[in-house]
Amino acid sequence: MITADRNAFRDALPDGGRLIGMDVGTKTVGLALCDSQWVIASPAHTITRGKFSKDKATIATFMAQQFVKGIVIGLPLNLDGSASPRSQSSKSFAQNMGDMGVPILLWDERWSTQAVTRTLIDADASRARRDVLVDKLAASYILQGAIDALRG
């Protein structure tokens, strides 16, 4: 099941369970995890994108190790809420992940990278340090927004 409807996603996971958040970019995929009660999201790591089958296998192994029950993928929308050129790429990524055996939620990520980058700049992180952290922190930001809405 792939959906943008948080209620349908929540209904697909009546017992909760650990979720993985993904910030899908053209060069990397940032990953984050939350606890099984959907309280707090934490950055996990960043995968440098290569051949999709290899990336998917890496993600599948990580999900199995972490007992993940659902996936939240950031959906980059325009400021007015309409689809952006990157939206289709994220939807295609979700469709390609659709056979993982867990529900997938597409979550509005309009401000995730900008919010995380601003926080890192405010923390005086160097450009090199920001480049290392931004994707997995953006995934955590996306996942936290989703779990806050799912619990609310």
Q: pLDDT digit string (tens) for 43-71?
A: 998 999 999 999 999 999 999 999 999 99
Mean pLDDT throughout 104-112? Answer: 80
Q: How confident is the model at residue 129 (pLDDT cuts 50, 70, 90)?
A: low
Residue ranges of domains in the chain, CATH in brackets? 2-151 (3.30.420.140)
Helix spans in the chain (H): 6-12, 52-66, 85-97, 112-122, 127-151
Q: Tell me whether residue 89 is exposed, middle or buried, using C-beta atoms within 10 angstroms of its C-beta: 0 to 12, 13 to 18, 19 or more.
A: middle
Cα–Cα distance for residue pair 60/68, rounded to 1 Å: 9
Question: Which tokens belong to 92?
Answer: 């295609």
Quote the pTM value. Answer: 0.84
H or E element: which one contains 46?
strand 41-48
DSSP 8-state class, residue 36: T
